[in-house]
């Protein structure tokens, strides 16, 4: 463990002291527990390492719930240490006391009520073993959050033993849980020779991506990779599958015989619909963590192997991949022609993808930003890393998670976020100045929740604006000033590109777009792509 988060309170005193005084941990302080949870999540996503976080008793612990749920769904290891009153102070009207037993329900991989103990050698050995067990549970086959509830009795400040006293020599863990050997598998054992296949790659924070483009190339399979997979690279990658598969003719004529899926199911609605309706294709999920993402129940084989150790099947007929590639190239041309140089949301997504330096990390919000990145991100071999809270798809906590990434990332970190999601986590920005973190924010201010403009509810005019689209009316320049960010408002695509080429930390780049024009523009893109196929 390298990082832990604290938040203020009294009951949690021993936990906060233990974390803040442990020289081997970076301790990050947060006022708002909800932000703290999402910040820890951002670190754990960026480092693929469990992060501990502690909070005081009562509603403080309940504020960690959204991040715990996201961690569960996205399979991110977190170790949640909630302080609690001891049993004699529960259910008798003592302050700040709620029922914290199994507070997060089935969202945690393991819950344990730690209890109260004298620091005898036996109990110290036990508590060290408990810590190792919590680590192992969070990093199990299906990683996720673990909850330890700590009933703590006064006095809460005591003469502490030194951090390393009584442990194993050299700071070794009390118990080492050896990793299960990663299994290799030969796809050729499951795919009949030179079948026409596709590889679909989705969100993966565990670093599986680098192997996928080479696998697709060797198999001669088009690679339909969400930018969240990190695998939209190499000569087999098809960038514009979302637009291409919206065309029923294309979708029908490009039905594969086999689908190999790695990582989460991508967001793209057209891709999901296509995969769900393929009928004859053999669909194989390579899923070492048994994430079991198959809403259409079409998968017939789950290979619990490490995707990095997959051996490709016999190569498919080269004409198959060529057809996909030329359709993708024509789609790219049609998109470019349709979008022109207007400062539109799709062009913001393209500018982010094209312009950011390779060492950057993009943290993208749910709603249209994550969809536009998937639709418009080109194939780029030195692309920046893209992270997102896509386990439970919440718009909450995005800025906090991006700041968590900023606490551990090497290169620049850029959050791409809509106005409603920004308003939702405005308080999370406090960490930037309190913890001295560098973040650049690209805020797409389209005056509310554009994503709902695509849905039937948009026609219910008496209710829609106030209750669903929910424009914030906020002056984001003042929000930037309050939290110590510089405010920029580029008026042209080139001005935006210039800001992205070397993202300046502590900058809020506000891009104003027209929500009412977004839907029509996306529709123009889709029909231009469909026309490009027959042109």
Ligand X SMILES: Cc1ncc(C[n+]2csc(CCOP(=O)(O)OP(=O)(O)O)c2C)c(N)n1
Site stretch for ligand X (CB under 6 A), options 153-161, 162-170, 442-450, 488-496:
442-450
395 or 529: CB nearest ligand X? 395
Structure tokens at 245: 């598969």
Q: Contact between 490 and ligand X (CB under 6 A)?
A: no
Q: Which residue has the CB atom at the shortest distance from ligand X? A: 418
Which candidate, 49, 106, 40, places its Cα nearest to that of 77? Answer: 49
Total binding residues toward ligand X, as defined by CB under 6 A: 17
Q: Looking up tokens 């405005």, which residue turns up?
A: 426
Q: Which of 14, 213, 266, 394 binds ligand X (CB under 6 A)?
A: 394
| Residue 398 · residue 363 · CB < 8 Å | yes
Which of Mg ion, ligand X, none binds 396 (CB below 5-8 Å, type-dependent)?
ligand X
> Does 396 sit near ligand X (CB under 6 A)?
yes
Indicate whether 398 belongs to the interface with Mg ion (CB under 5 A): no
Checking DSSP bridges between strand 185-186 and strand 310-311, what pairing results, if any?
Answer: parallel
Query: Which residues, 439 to 458, sit near Mg ion by CB under 5 A?
Result: 446, 450
- Binder of ligand X out of 230, 256, 418, 503 (CB under 6 A): 418
List the structure tokens of 316.
Answer: 């498919």
Q: Would you say 355 or 393 has its CB closer to ligand X?
A: 393
Q: Which residue has the tokens 């793209």?
A: 268
Residue that has been written with the tokens 């027209």 in this structure: 514
- Decide if 401 contacts 78 (C-beta within 8 A): no
User: Cα(93)–Cα(81) distance, rounded to whole angstroms?
Assistant: 23
Q: Does 451 bind ligand X (CB under 6 A)?
A: yes
Q: Which of 383, 420, 429, 432 binds ligand X (CB under 6 A)?
A: 420
Minimum distance from CB of 455 to Mg ion (Å)?
Answer: 14
Helix (H), strand (E) at residue 261: strand 258-262
Nearer to ligand X, 331 or 366 (CB): 366
- Contacted by 451, from Mg ion, ligand X, none: CB < 5 to 8 Å by type: ligand X
Report 30-59 residues binding ligand X (CB under 6 A): none
Contact call for residue 391 and ligand X (CB under 6 A): no
Member of 224, 281, 421, 480 binding ligand X (CB under 6 A) = 421
Smallest Cα–Cα separation from 368: which of 344, 384, 339, 391? 344
Task: Answer yes or no whether residue 345 interacts with Mg ion by CB under 5 A.
Answer: no
419 binds Mg ion (CB under 5 A): yes
Comparing C-alpha atoms, which of 217, 275, 213, 263 is closest to residue 391? 263
Kindly write down the DSSP assignment for every residue of 67-123, as one continuous string: HHHHHHHHT--EEEEEEE--GGGSSSS-TT----TTTTGGGSSEEEE-------HHH
Write down the least CB distance from residue 236 to ligand X, Å: 30
CB within 8 Å of 42: residues ≥ 6 apart: 363, 387, 400, 401, 402, 403, 404, 405, 406, 407
Q: Does 449 bind ligand X (CB under 6 A)?
A: yes
Binding string to ligand X for residues 353 to 382, with x set by CB under 6 A, is what? ------------xxxxx-------------
Interface with Mg ion by CB under 5 A: which residues?
Answer: 418-419, 446, 450
Interface with ligand X by CB under 6 A: which residues?
Answer: 365-369, 393-396, 418-421, 446, 449-451
């Amino acid at each position: 463990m390298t990082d832990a988060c604290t938040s203020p309170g009294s009951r949690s005193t021993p936990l906060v002291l233990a974390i803040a005084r442990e020289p081997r941990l970076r301790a990050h302080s947060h006022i708002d527990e909800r932000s703290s949870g999402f910040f820890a999540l951002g670190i754990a996503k960026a480092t693929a390492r469990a992060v501990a976080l502690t909070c005081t008793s009562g509603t403080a612990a309940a504020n960690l719930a959204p991040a715990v749920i996201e961690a569960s769904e996205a399979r991110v290891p977190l170790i949640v240490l909630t302080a609690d009153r001891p049993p004699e102070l529960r259910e008798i009207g003592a302050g700040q006391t709620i029922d914290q037993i199994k507070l997060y329900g089935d969202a945690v991989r393991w819950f344990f009520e730690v209890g109260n103990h004298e620091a005898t050698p036996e109990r110290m050995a036990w508590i060290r073993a408990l810590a190792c067990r919590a680590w192992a549970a969070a990093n199990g086959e299906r990683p996720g959050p673990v909850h330890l509830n700590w009933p703590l009795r006064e006095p809460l400040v005591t003469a502490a033993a030194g951090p390393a006293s009584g442990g194993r020599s050299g700071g070794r863990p009390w118990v080492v849980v050896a990793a299960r050997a990663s299994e290799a598998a030969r796809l050729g054992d499951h795919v009949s020779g030179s079948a026409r296949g596709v590889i679909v790659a989705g969100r993966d924070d565990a670093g599986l991506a680098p192997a996928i483009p080479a696998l697709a190339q060797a198999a001669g399979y088009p690679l339909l990779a969400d930018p969240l997979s990190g695998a939209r690279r190499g000569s087999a990658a098809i960038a514009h599958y979302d637009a291409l598969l919206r065309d029923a003719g294309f979708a029908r004529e490009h039905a594969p015989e086999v689908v190999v899926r790695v990582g989460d199911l991508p967001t793209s609605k057209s891709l999901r619909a296509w995969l769900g309706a393929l009928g004859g294709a053999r669909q194989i999920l390579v899923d070492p963590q048994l994430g079991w993402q198959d809403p259409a129940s079409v998968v017939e084989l789950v290979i619990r192997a490490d995707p990095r150790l997959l051996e490709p099947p016999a190569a498919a007929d080269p004409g198959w991949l060529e057809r996909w590639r030329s359709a993708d190239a024509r789609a790219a041309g049609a998109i470019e022609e349709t979008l022109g140089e207007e400062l539109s949301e799709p062009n913001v997504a393209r500018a982010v993808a094209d312009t950011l330096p390779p060492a950057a990390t993009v943290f993208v919000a749910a709603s249209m930003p994550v969809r536009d990145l998937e639709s418009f991100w080109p194939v780029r071999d030195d692309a920046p890393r893209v992270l997102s809270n896509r386990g439970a798809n919440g718009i909450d906590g995005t800025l906090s998670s991006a700041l968590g990434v900023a606490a551990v990332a090497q290169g620049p970190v850029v959050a791409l976020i809509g106005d409603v999601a920004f308003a939702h986590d405005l308080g999370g920005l406090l960490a930037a100045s309190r913890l001295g973190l560098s973040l650049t924010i690209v805020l797409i201010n389209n005056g509310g929740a554009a994503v709902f403009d695509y849905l039937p509810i948009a026609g219910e005019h008496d209710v829609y604006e106030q209750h669903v689209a929910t424009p914030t009316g906020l002056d984001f320049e003042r929000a930037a000033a309050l939290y110590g960010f510089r405010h920029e408002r580029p008026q042209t695509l080139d001005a935006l590109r210039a800001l992205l080429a070397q993202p300046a930390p502590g900058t809020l780049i506000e891009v104003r777009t027209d929500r009412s024009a977004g839907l029509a523009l996306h529709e123009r893109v889709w029909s231009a792509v469909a026309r490009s196929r027959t042109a």
